[in-house]
Amino acid sequence: PKGEDVVLTGEVWTDVTQTAANIELKTKVKNKDHRVFLDGIYIYEKKKGIEK
């Protein structure tokens, strides 16, 4: 994706995922094809658990 990546980390998984969801909702563009949207959030990887 173009632009900067935002990496969210935290100790409480539900807080991290809620923050990601809040950011995604606030930056969502309506009535546009998301495949050509240049500014926004693309969740291109989801992981379960915390890597150590």
pLDDT digit string, tens, across residues 1-52: 456 778 888 888 889 889 988 888 887 767 765 554 445 555 555 666 666 5
pLDDT value for 37? 45
pLDDT value for 23? 86
Region of 19 (left: φ > 0; alpha: ψ -120 to 50; beta: rest) is: alpha
pLDDT value for 51? 60
pLDDT value for 20? 87
Residue 29, classed as helix, strand or coil, is: coil
Interior/surface letters 25-52, b for 16+ CB within 10 angstroms, e for the rest: eeeeeeeeeeeeeeeebeeeeeeeeeee
Distance CA 14, CA 21 (A): 10
